[in-house]
């Protein structure tokens, strides 16, 4: 039939199987293969209907995203739209029943919508996740979906990108029947039931499209919500426009409008950035010196040392994936407090409808509090999350070395300490690794996995795989101060302080960066985590700063007067009992006084300068990290920033963003800041080199292996 589509018969029903591993994407040849199959059955007297199903682990996960990259980069110029093929499927004279397992996403769901009936395995998921790639459904999805599920539900699916479970989709009329057990057998039986009956065409329906009076408030509310929730982004609004077109226009004209909006999104920088992140996240697990066949150590139980903020969050992460956890602390009060916090967090999730009480009860049963190391011998992996001091970490790892079985993975959640120094206190440095979760660990997707000099390949491969199982974006980084994320973050928050010293209001610094797309401004982030955290790090490592480097001093002063941030009700901002921030008039007065004492001249600072100095400080440090090899690829750094630091995916991460600005331009600004502000702005050699050679970070390939220390 075609390389990707094959036909088999089950009596009077033809089974059309799409087989394009790994996810049956609609690569060139797949839609054509389906159409050829549909055309063939028209002339076969004995065939009454067909079932369309996917081979392997899933139905169709959507358009082949690589083809979008080829299109926007000019590698292919032909039309890759599949609307005509879907019309041919819909016009079949014999009913086509789609049988969905795994996922029917994007173009996959659009194919399903063009078929006449949809049945699904109970655990299947269906969705229009295109907005995660900065685009909108592009093959009539915005026109057929509201016809099947109604305008409001279609907007929700297309603008949030969140998939539905098959059982939910069945309630909304998107799935005609869910099937327990053998999906193909159920689909064939269903096809026999509908064979010979009038064939429903989705595009001919209008019964769920509503009236202009009913729809007007729905669209107005959706647009207002999208503007608020997806600041600066174009695709969510475009998706809503396209659905509105479905309600106003005949199907064909609606599709033309959809295509216009689709192209506008696809060729935008936002979509290119989001597609970069999609592939960067999938490149991250590929470690050049760790072969795919590296043995994986089974991790069926985890022991956590320290039941504080991080230990508790990590326990929830493990329990949520069904892994039993032992949670140890030093005294009963700390342990009770830790367990109490976990319960409180789960209660909030139940209240918000994220989890059911039964689910939570099951999770709590998986977490066993303890004050002793007695049961550690059985643990496959330990995650240490005690206070951040080297002597304590060394003491704990010494104990772990004594009590844990041979081959157990011993990991630390340290954010600043040297993994090799910790590993050296054990007799098995090959089993020691950093597992740097971010706070709150049960929410944040990022996990930096820190390889020590002697960490074994199987320990690294296991932790990378475990990250995926835990639902985290696990990025392997080298063992340098601050690892990757925090090493870049330090110059960034330092620059935010310098901007305030030079005359920008704290609110202006945060607003410029939030308007630009960051989830939070740097000063508000400081208040959230506690200004004392960076204070301690600054004090501890001041001796390592470059000679003559400018030192920020405002936050030190705030900390010294007890303004530690949210937890004290005051930092850069003041906070009410609900921790809501507001401007504190005391802060500009203090700043003025301190800056005057320091003799720094104040001036007007534009939001453009705020953004350039903050973002280029990330980029310049990122370039050093990349060149030194502590990150394997620019895309790894971008993955870290998008998943752990609230960096907008539609700007692609700091390194991708710098590439889009142009490295020559970025370099020139950094060189100018160097002249104006001194040694901290010394351009990274890699930035300078790529700027002069016309290169990009994303295409930069290191020749040497990943740096480990």
Residues classed as catalytic: 110, 130
Return the range that interacts with ligand ZOZ (CB under 6 A); candidates 128-136, 267-275, 350-358, 436-444.
128-136
Residue nearest to ligand NAD according to CB distances in the complex:
308
CA nearest to 262, candidates 140, 359, 178: 140
Of 339 and 512, CB closest to ligand NAD: 339
37 or 404: CB nearest ligand NAD: 404
140 or 338: whose CB is closer to ligand NAD?
338
Contact 438/419 with Cβ under 8 angstroms?
A: no
3-state SS assignment for residue 448: strand
Provide the minimum distance between the beta carbon of 350 and ligand ZOZ in the complex, in angstroms, as a whole number.
Answer: 27
Three-state DSSP state, 560? helix
With the CA atoms of 313, 314, 319 and 323 taken in that order, what torsion angle do they form, in degrees rounded to the nearest 10? 180
In angstroms, the CA 77 to CA 72 distance is 9
**308 binds, options ligand ZOZ, ligand NAD, none, Cβ within 5 to 8 A by partner type:** ligand NAD
d(CA 508, CA 514): 10
Should residue 129 be labelled a site residue for ligand ZOZ when binding is judged by CB under 6 A?
yes
Phi and psi torsions of 162, nearest 5°: -75, 130
- Tell me the C-alpha distance between 346 and 317, whole Å: 11
Q: How far is the CB of 648 from ligand ZOZ (least distance, A)?
A: 18
By the rule CB under 6 A, 80 interacts with ligand ZOZ: yes
How far, in Å, CA of 108 to CA of 174, rounded? 13
CA dihedral of residues 591, 596, 599, 602 (deg, nearest 10): 60
- Contact assessment for residue 51 and residue 13, using Cβ atoms and an 8 Å cutoff: yes
Binder among 103, 425, 486, 643 for ligand ZOZ (CB under 6 A): 103
Closest to ligand NAD by CB, 334 vs 590, is: 334
> Could you tell me how far CA 162 lies from the centroid of its own chain?
13
520: CB partners within 8 A, 6+ apart: 510, 514, 528, 646
Q: Is 140 in the site for ligand ZOZ (CB under 6 A)?
A: no
Element holding 360 (H helix, E strand)? helix 357-366
Residue 391: name its binding partner from ligand ZOZ, ligand NAD, none (Cβ under 5 to 8 Å by kind).
none
Taking the complex as a whole, how short is the minimal distance between the CB of residue 148 and ligand ZOZ, in angstroms? 15
Return d(Cα 551, Cα 542) in angstroms, integer.
9
Q: Tell whether residue 16 is a contact of ligand ZOZ (CB under 6 A).
A: no
d(CA 75, CA 97): 36
Which entry of ligand NAD, ligand ZOZ, none binds 95, CB below 5 to 8 A by partner kind?
none
Residue 502 contacts residue 655 (beta carbons within 8 Å): no
Partner whose footprint covers residue 145, from ligand ZOZ, ligand NAD, none (CB < 5 to 8 Å by kind): none
Q: Which residue minimizes CB distance to ligand ZOZ?
A: 106
Residue 177, φ and ψ in degrees, nearest 5: -155, 135
Identify what 138 binds: ligand NAD, ligand ZOZ, none; CB under 5 to 8 Å per kind.
Answer: ligand ZOZ
Decide if 169 contacts 175 (C-beta within 8 A): yes
Using an 8 Å Cβ cutoff, are 151 and 158 in contact?
Answer: no
What does 63 bind: ligand ZOZ, ligand NAD, none (CB cut-off 5 to 8 Å by kind)? ligand ZOZ
Binding to ligand ZOZ, residues 255-274 (CB under 6 A): 262
Least distance in Å: CB of 471 to ligand ZOZ?
A: 10
Task: Find the part of the chain contacting ligand ZOZ (CB under 6 A) among 74-82, 112-120, 150-158, 169-177.
Answer: 74-82
Q: How far is the CB of 333 from ligand NAD (least distance, A)?
A: 9
Please report how close the Cβ of residue 305 comes to ligand NAD at its closest, in angstroms. 5
Assigned token pair, 192: 């026999």
Closest approach, Cβ 417 to ligand NAD, in A, equals 7
Give Cα 320 to chain centroid, integer Å: 18
Verify binding: residue 141, ligand ZOZ, rule CB under 6 A.
Answer: yes
> Which one of 23, 121, 476, 707 is in contact with ligand ZOZ (CB under 6 A)?
23
In the bound state with ligand ZOZ, the residue whose beta carbon lies nearer, of 20 and 455, is 20
Binding site residues, ligand NAD, CB under 6 A? 305-311, 328-330, 334, 338, 385-388, 392, 396, 413-415, 437-439, 529
CA distance linking residue 115 with residue 386, whole number of Å: 56
**Minimum CB distance to ligand NAD, residue 439 (Å):** 3
**Which does residue 141 touch among ligand ZOZ, ligand NAD, none (CB within 5 to 8 A, set by kind)?**
ligand ZOZ
DSSP string, 135-177: ----SSHHHHHHHHH-HHHHHHHHHH---EEHHHHHHTTS-SE
Number of amino acids touching ligand ZOZ (CB under 6 A): 28
Residue 582 beta carbon to ligand NAD: minimum distance, rounded to whole angstroms: 24
Instruction: Write the CB contacts of 153 (distance below 8 Å, at least 6 apart in sequence).
Output: 146, 172
Region for residue 434 given its phi and psi (left: phi exceeds 0; alpha: psi -120 to 50; beta: otherwise): beta
Count the Cβ atoms, other than its own, within 10 Å of residue 413. 26
Among 38, 98, 100, 139, binds ligand ZOZ (CB under 6 A): 139
Residue 413 interacts with which of ligand ZOZ, ligand NAD, none, CB < 5 to 8 Å by class:
ligand NAD
Q: What's the min distance (Å) between Cβ of 441 and ligand NAD? A: 8
Closest to ligand ZOZ by CB, 141 or 306 = 141
**Of 34, 49, 115, 133, which lies in the binding site for ligand ZOZ, with binding defined by CB under 6 A?**
133
Nearer to ligand NAD, 203 or 487 (CB): 487
Q: Tell which one of 106, 311, 622, 635 touches ligand ZOZ (CB under 6 A).
A: 106
**Looking at 70, 282, 580, 592, which residue binds ligand ZOZ (CB under 6 A)?**
282
Is residue 65 part of the contact set for ligand ZOZ (CB under 6 A)? yes
Q: Which residues pair with 449 in a beta bridge?
A: 435, 476
Q: Between residue 517 and residue 556, which ones bind ligand ZOZ under the rule CB under 6 A?
A: none
Q: Could you say whether residue 652 binds ligand ZOZ (CB under 6 A)? A: no
Contact 444, 643 (CB under 8 A): yes
What residues pair up with 254 in beta bridges, in sequence order? none
- Which residues would be at the binding site for ligand ZOZ (CB under 6 A)? 22-23, 25, 58, 61-66, 80-82, 103, 105-107, 110, 129-130, 132-133, 137-139, 141, 262, 282
């Amino acid at each position: 039939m075609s390389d990707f589509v094959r036909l088999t018969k089950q009596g009077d029903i033809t089974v059309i199987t799409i087989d394009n591993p790994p996810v049956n994407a609609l690569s060139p040849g797949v839609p054509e293969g389906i159409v050829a199959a549909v055309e063939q059955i028209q002339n076969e007297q004995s065939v009454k209907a067909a079932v369309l199903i996917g081979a392997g682990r899933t139905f169709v996960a959507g358009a082949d995203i690589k083809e979008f990259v080829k299109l926007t980069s000019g590698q292919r110029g032909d039309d890759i739209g599949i609307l005509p093929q879907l019309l041919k499927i819909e016009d079949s004279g014999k009913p086509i029943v789609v049988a969905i397992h795994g996922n029917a996403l994007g173009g996959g769901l659009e194919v399903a919508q063009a078929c006449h009936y949809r049945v699904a395995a109970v655990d299947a998921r269906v969705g229009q996740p295109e907005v995660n790639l900065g685009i909108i459904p592009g093959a009539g999805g915005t026109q057929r979906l509201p016809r099947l599920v109604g305008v409001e539900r279609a907007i929700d699916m297309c603008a949030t990108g969140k998939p539905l479970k098959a059982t939910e989709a069945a309630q909304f009329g998107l799935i005609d029947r869910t099937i327990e057990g053998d999906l193909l057998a159920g689909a064939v039986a269903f096809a026999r039931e509908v064979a010979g009956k009038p064939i429903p065409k989705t595009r001919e329906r209008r019964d769920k499209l509503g009236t202009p009076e009913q729809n007007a408030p729905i669209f107005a509310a959706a647009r207002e919500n999208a503007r608020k929730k997806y600041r600066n982004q174009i695709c969510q609004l475009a998706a809503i426009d396209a659905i509105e077109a479905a309600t106003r226009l005949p199907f064909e004209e609606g599709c033309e409008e959809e295509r216009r909006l689709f192209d506008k999104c696809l060729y935008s920088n936002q979509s290119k950035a989001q597609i970069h992140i999609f592939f960067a996240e999938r490149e991250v697990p590929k470690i050049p010196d760790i072969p795919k066949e590296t043995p994986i150590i089974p991790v069926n139980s985890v022991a956590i040392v320290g039941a504080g903020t991080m230990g508790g969050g990590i326990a929830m992460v493990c329990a949520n994936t069904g892994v039993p956890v032992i949670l140890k602390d030093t005294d009963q009060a700390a342990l009770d407090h830790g367990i109490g916090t976990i319960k409180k967090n789960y209660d909030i999730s139940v209240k918000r409808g994220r989890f059911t009480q039964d689910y939570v009860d099951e999770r709590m049963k998986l977490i066993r509090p303890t004050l002793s190391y007695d049961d550690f011998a059985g643990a496959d992996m330990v995650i240490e999350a005690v206070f951040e001091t080297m002597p304590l970490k060394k003491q704990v790892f010494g104990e772990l070395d004594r009590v844990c079985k041979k081959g157990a993975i011993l990991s630390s959640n340290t954010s600043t300490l040297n993994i090799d120094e910790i590993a050296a206190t054990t007799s098995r440095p090959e089993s020691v690794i950093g597992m740097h979760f971010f706070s709150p660990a049960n929410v944040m997707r990022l996990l930096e996995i820190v390889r020590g000099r002697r960490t074994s390949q199987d320990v690294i491969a296991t932790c990378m795989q475990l990250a995926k199982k835990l639902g985290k974006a696990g990025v392997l980084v080298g063992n340098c101060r601050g690892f990757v994320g925090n090493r870049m973050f330090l110059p960034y928050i330092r620059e935010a302080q310098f901007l305030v010293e030079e005359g920008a209001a704290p609110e202006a610094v945060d607003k410029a960066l939030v308007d630009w797309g960051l989830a939070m401004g740097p000063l508000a982030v400081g208040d959230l985590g506690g200004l004392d955290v960076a204070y301690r790090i600054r004090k501890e490592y001041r001796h390592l700063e470059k000679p003559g480097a400018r030192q920020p001093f405002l936050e030190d002063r705030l900390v010294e007067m007890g303004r530690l941030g949210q937890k004290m009700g005051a930092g850069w901002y003041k906070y009410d009992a609900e921790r809501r921030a507001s401007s504190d008039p005391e802060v500009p007065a203090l700043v003025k006084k301190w800056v005057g004492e320091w003799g720094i001249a104040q001036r007007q600072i534009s939001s453009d300068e705020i953004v350039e100095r903050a973002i280029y400080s990330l980029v310049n440090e990122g370039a050093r990290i990349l060149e030194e090899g502590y990150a394997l690829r620019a895309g790894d750094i971008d993955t870290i920033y998008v998943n752990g630091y609230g960096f907008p995916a539609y700007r692609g991460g700091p390194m991708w963003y710098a590439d889009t600005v142009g490295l020559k331009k970025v370099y020139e600004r950094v060189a100018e800041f160097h002249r104006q502000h001194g040694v901290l702005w010394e351009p990274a050699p890699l930035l300078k080199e790529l700027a002069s050679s016309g290169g990009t970070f994303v295409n930069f390939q290191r020749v040497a292996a990943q740096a480990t220390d």
